[in-house]
C-alpha cells in the first residue's frame, strides 16, 4: 500500500521495518524529523531511543548497541556528520555493522540548512582517520530513502561494515508516495562475533577491538582490508541508466541533482540532442562498471552535483579512464536547472567548455 | 578448616601492567565480584583507551575496545539493547574525565543503567605521564613541570561531587587500592554498584584511587603512602550515594 510521507519519516519508518531497534542521535536541521520520528516510534516497536549530548555520544552508543548484535542507526547532517567520523573509523576497525544517515546541507563550517551535496568527499573517501572505505547509498526519492536504508542494513551485516545513507535536505524534506518494506524482526544473538557474554565459542570472552591486534598479523591485516573493499567494489555497485546506450554526452549525477538530470535528458532528446544519464545509487563503490560500457564510445561525460567545486567529478574522471573526457558542472547551493545543463552540454559539443 | 587459594576463572593469567600499578588489583576485584555475583558469563566490558586497555589481556569476559573517552557511551548502547547483561565501562581518569567528560556526565544525567569504573591515578599513564584533570595542585608531570597551579589549570576535578548533584544516580562510591582494608572495601563497592545495576536502579559508578609509580616517579610503597596521604585528603574515600535511583 502506497502512502504519502516526508522523506525523513519514510527513512525512519523503513529502518524500523528493516528490524532496526536502536537509535541514538542529536538534533540538527535538516535531519531532525528522523530523530523526532524515532523518539516515539522506536519505543513503540520495542526498541531503544536516546537523544544524546552530542553526535559523538550518539555514534558511540550506536557502536555499543551494534557491537552487541542489534540493528542500530544514527543520523545527522553536515557539522554533526563530521563529529561522527571518529566513531565510523572505529566501527570499520572493529568491523561493526551499523547505518549512519547524512541528510546533507550546504557548505563548510556551519554552512546553511539549505540543501547541498558537499559531503560527497567525506562520505566516500573515508571521512575519519586512517584510510578506510565503506558503502554509501545515495537516495534520490522518498521511495529510495525507504528502500536504501533497508538495503544498507543488509549490506552492513554482509560485510560487517558501517554503511552510510547519503540523503540531502531536498530528499529528506520532500513529500512523496512510498511503498514501505515489510516488518522484520531479528534475533539479537544471531552473530557469533557479537557481544553477549562469554560462551563455548569464546570461553575467555570476546575481545572485540581493532581487528589488527588479535585477529590478524600486520601483513595479513592490510590484505584482509583490501579484500573486503575489493569484494564491495565487485559486488555492490548500483546505478540507474537513462538513455545512455546511444548518448553522445552522458550526464553523471546522484541524489537531488539526478532528478533534474532526468528532466534534462528528456528535454534534450526532444530537441534532437542525444543526452543520457548514469545515476549513481552507490556513490561508493562508484559505479565504474557503468562507465566501462561507454568509455571511448560517448563523446563526453558531465557530472552535475551541488558543491562548490566538482567532487564526484574526480570519481567520474577516474572511471572514464582517460578514454572519454569528463566535464564538471558544480551548482553550489542551487539545484541544477535543466536548461543550464543543456546549455553546458552544447558548450561541450562546441568546444567551449573546459574539460575537468 | 584448610585454606584454599582461588583465582576467578575470568583472570586470564599474568597481566601486563607496570610493577606497582593499581590496575591489576582493580581487575582482580572486578573478576571476584563478577564471580561471587554469578555474572561472569553475562558480563560485558566497554574498555577505554590508555592503560585501561590492558584489561583486554587480563580479563576473560566479553569486551569491546572503544574510542578514547567514549567507553561510557558504548556501555550505555550495549546496556540499552542487552538489559539482562551486566555491563560496565573500565576507564582511567584521563579517558573518562578529560576527553570523555561529556559522555561520562551525560551517562549519569540520562540515567544510563550500567556501571562506570574509573581508575584515578591522576596522570595520563600510557602516553608518559602528562597532567590529567585529577593531577593534584603542586604535582609535577611532563606537562606541569613546575607543579600544577590553580592559576594555570584550575583545581583537580571531583567527579563524585558532579555526580552527587544528579538525583537519579543509584550508587556512587570512591574506593582505593592502597592498603588491604581499602582493597576489601573497594570490592564491596564494586559489588554494590553491580547489584544496583542489575536491580535496574539506575546509573552507578565506582571511582578507584590507584597508584602509578612509573609516572609518579616513586617507589611502589611510597606511591601507596601518597594515596593514604595527599591523594585521599583531596579525594575522600567512601560511599557517596547508596540505595539511590529508582530504589530511593
Same domain, A167 and A58: yes
Asked whether the beta carbons of residue A48 and residue B80 sit closer than 8 angstroms, the reply is yes
Same domain, A182 and A128: yes
Please compute, for residue B66, the number of CA atoms within 13 A of its CA located in the half-sphere on the CB side: 39
Q: What is the pLDDT of residues A160-186, one digit of tens each?
A: 999 999 999 999 999 999 999 999 999
- Is residue A254 within 8 Å of residue A140, measured between CB atoms? yes
| Residue entry with cell 582493580 | B26
More confident residue, A215 or A123: A123
CA dihedral A24, A25, A30, A32 (to 10 degrees): 70
Instruction: Kindly report which listed range (A166-175, A215-224, A341-350) carries the lowest average pLDDT score.
Output: A215-224
Residues 6+ apart with CB under 8 A from B102: A53, A54, A56, A57
- CA dist A330 and A125 (Å) reads 19
Considering only the top CATH level, what class is B23-124+157-247? alpha beta
Percent of chain A with pLDDT over 70: 100
Same domain, A188 and A300: no
Mapping DSSP to helix (H, G, I), strand (E, B) and coil, where does residue B221 land?
helix
- CA dist B66 and B95 (Å) reads 10
Tell me the CATH number at A13. Answer: 3.40.50.970
Please list every residue in chain B whose beta carbon sits closer than 8 Å to the beta carbon of residue A195.
44, 62, 64, 78, 82
Please list every residue in chain B whose beta carbon sits closer than 8 Å to the beta carbon of residue A39.
none
pLDDT greater than 90 at residue A249 = yes
Asked whether the beta carbons of residue B64 and residue A70 sit closer than 8 angstroms, the reply is no
Tell me the CATH number at A336. Answer: 3.40.50.920
Q: Which of B40, B103, B109 sits opposite A60 (nearest CB)?
A: B103
The cell for B177 is: 587500592
CA geometry: angle B90, A162, B112, nearest 5 deg: 35
pLDDT of residue B245: 83
Q: What is the pLDDT of residues A263-309, one digit of tens each?
A: 999 999 999 999 999 999 999 999 999 999 999 999 999 999 999 99
Burial readout B104-130 (b: 16 or more C-beta within 10 A, e: otherwise): bbbbbbbbbbbbbbbbbbbbbbbeebb
- Name the DSSP letter for residue B67: P
Same domain, A277 and A227: no
What's the number of domains chain A is made of? 2
Domain chopping of chain B, boundaries: 23-124+157-247
Which residue ranges in chain B fall short of pLDDT 70? 247-248
Asked whether the beta carbons of residue B77 and residue A68 sit closer than 8 angstroms, the reply is yes
Mapping DSSP to helix (H, G, I), strand (E, B) and coil, where does residue A30 land?
coil
Same domain, A166 and A228: yes
Same domain, A231 and A244: no
With respect to residue A163, please indicate whether it lies within any of the assigned structural domains.
yes
Domain range for residue A13?
2-196+223-235
- Which residue in chain B is spatially nearest to A68 when comparing CA positions? B78
Amino acid at each position: 500500500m502506497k502512502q504519502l510521507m516526508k522523506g525523513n519519516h519514510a527513512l525512519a519508518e523503513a529502518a524500523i521495518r528493516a528490524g532496526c531497534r536502536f537509535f541514538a542521535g542529536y538534533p540538527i536541521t535538516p535531519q531532525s524529523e528522523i530523530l523526532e520520528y524515532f523518539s516515539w516510534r522506536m519505543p513503540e516497536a520495542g526498541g531503544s531511543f536516546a537523544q544524546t549530548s552530542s553526535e559523538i555520544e550518539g555514534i558511540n552508543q550506536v557502536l555499543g548497541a551494534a557491537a552487541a548484535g542489534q540493528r542500530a542507526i544514527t543520523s545527522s547532517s553536515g557539522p554533526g556528520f563530521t563529529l561522527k567520523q571518529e566513531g565510523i573509523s572505529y566501527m570499520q576497525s572493529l568491523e561493526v555493522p551499523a547505518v549512519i544517515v547524512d541528510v546533507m546541507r550546504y557548505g563548510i563550517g556551519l554552512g546553511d540548512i539549505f540543501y547541498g551535496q558537499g559531503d560527497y568527499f567525506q562520505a566516500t573517501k573515508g571521512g575519519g582517520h586512517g584510510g578506510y572505505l565503506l558503502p554509501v547509498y545515495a537516495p534520490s526519492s522518498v521511495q529510495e530513502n525507504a528502500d536504501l536504508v533497508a538495503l544498507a542494513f543488509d549490506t552492513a551485516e554482509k560485510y560487517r561494515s558501517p554503511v552510510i545513507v547519503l540523503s540531502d535536505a531536498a530528499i529528506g524534506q520532500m513529500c512523496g508516495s512510498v511503498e514501505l518494506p515489510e516488518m522484520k524482526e531479528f534475533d539479537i544473538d544471531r552473530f557469533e562475533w557479537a557481544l553477549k557474554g562469554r560462551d563455548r565459542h569464546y570461553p575467555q570472552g570476546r575481545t572485540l577491538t581493532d581487528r589488527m591486534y588479535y585477529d590478524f598479523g600486520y601483513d595479513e591485516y592490510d590484505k584482509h582490508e583490501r579484500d573486503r573493499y575489493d569484494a564491495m567494489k565487485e559486488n555492490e555497485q548500483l546505478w540507474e541508466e537513462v538513455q545512455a546506450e546511444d548518448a553522445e554526452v552522458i550526464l553523471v549525477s546522484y541524489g537531488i541533482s539526478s532528478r533534474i538530470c532526468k528532466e534534462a535528458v528528456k528535454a534534450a532528446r526532444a530537441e534532437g540532442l542525444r543526452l543520457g544519464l548514469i545515476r549513481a545509487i552507490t556513490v561508493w563503490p562508484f559505479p565504474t562498471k557503468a562507465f566501462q560500457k561507454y568509455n571511448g564510445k560517448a563523446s563526453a561525460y558531465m557530472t552535475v552535483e551541488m558543491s562548490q567545486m566538482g567532487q564526484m567529478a574526480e570519481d567520474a574522471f577516474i572511471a572514464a579512464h582517460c578514454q572519454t573526457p569528463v566535464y564538471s558542472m558544480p551548482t553550489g547551493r542551487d539545484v541544477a536547472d535543466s536548461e543550464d545543463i543543456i546549455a553546458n552540454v552544447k558548450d561541450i559539443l562546441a568546444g567551449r567548455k573546459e574539460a575537468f | 578448616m584448610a585454606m584454599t587459594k582461588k583465582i576467578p576463572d575470568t583472570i586470564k593469567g599474568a597481566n601486563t601492567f607496570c610493577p606497582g600499578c593499581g590496575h591489576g588489583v582493580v581487575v582482580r576485584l572486578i573478576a571476584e565480584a563478577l564471580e561471587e555475583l554469578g555474572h561472569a558469563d553475562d558480563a560485558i566490558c566497554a574498555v577505554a583507551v590508555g592503560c585501561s586497555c590492558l584489561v583486554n589481556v587480563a580479563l576473560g569476559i566479553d569486551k569491546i575496545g572503544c574510542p578514547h573517552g567514549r567507553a561510557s557511551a558504548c556501555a550505555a548502547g550495549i546496556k540499552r539493547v542487552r538489559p539482562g547483561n551486566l555491563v560496565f565501562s573500565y576507564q582511567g581518569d584521563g579517558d573518562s574525565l578529560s576527553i570523555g567528560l561529556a559522555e561520562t556526565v551525560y551517562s549519569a544525567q540520562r540515567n544510563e543503567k550500567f556501571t562506570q569504573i574509573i581508575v584515578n591515578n591522576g596522570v595520563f599513564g600510557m602516553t608518559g605521564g602528562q597532567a590529567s584533570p585529577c593531577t593534584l595542585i603542586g604535582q609535577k608531570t611532563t606537562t606541569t613541570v613546575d607543579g600544577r597551579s590553580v592559576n594555570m589549570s584550575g583545581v583537580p576535578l571531583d567527579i563524585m561531587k558532579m555526580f552527587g548533584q544528579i538525583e537519579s544516580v543509584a550508587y556512587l562510591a570512591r574506593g582505593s587500592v592502597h592498603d588491604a582494608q581499602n582493597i576489601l572495601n573497594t570490592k564491596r563497592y564494586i559489588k554494590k554498584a553491580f547489584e544496583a545495576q542489575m536491580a535496574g536502579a539506575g546509573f552507578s559508578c565506582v571511582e578507584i584511587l590507584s597508584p602509578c609509580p612509573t609516572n609518579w616517579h616513586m617507589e611502589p610503597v611510597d606511591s601507596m603512602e601518597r594515596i593514604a596521604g595527599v591523594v585521599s585528603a583531596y579525594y575522600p574515600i567512601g560511599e557517596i550515594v547508596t540505595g539511590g535511583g529508582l530504589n530511593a
